[in-house]
């Protein structure tokens, strides 16, 4: 089960790339591309995939903490 994930987002003139990785190294990383206007769907799919795995029972709960880090 994924406990900690990181999504690195890079913006371009015509959209973004979103690179998802499991911080604990249990799952392979993957990358998605989204054109302008589809960024939220792209990022949301990464997050929902993790939550869907965690919320496997009707009574499961999860807290999502989001921290924005701007690389130097």
pLDDT in tens, 28-66: 999 999 999 999 999 999 999 999 988 988 899 999 999
Q: Which domain range does residue 28 map to?
A: 5-54
In a domain, 10, yes or no: yes
Q: How many domains does the chain have?
A: 1
In a domain, 71, yes or no: no
As a whole number of angstroms, the distance between CA 52 and CA 31 comes to 19
20-33 pLDDT tens trace: 999 998 899 999 99
pTM: 0.83
In a domain, 21, yes or no: yes
In contact, 17 and 32? CB cutoff 8 Å = yes
As a whole number of angstroms, the distance between CA 46 and CA 58 comes to 21
In a domain, 60, yes or no: no
């Amino acid at each position: 089960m994924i406990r900690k994930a990181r999504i690195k987002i890079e913006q371009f003139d015509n959209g973004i790339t979103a690179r998802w990785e499991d911080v604990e190294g249990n799952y392979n990383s993957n990358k998605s591309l989204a054109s302008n206007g589809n960024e939220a769907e792209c990022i949301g799919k990464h997050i929902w995939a993790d939550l869907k795995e965690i919320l496997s029972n009707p009574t499961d709960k999860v807290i999502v903490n989001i921290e924005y880090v701007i690389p130097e």
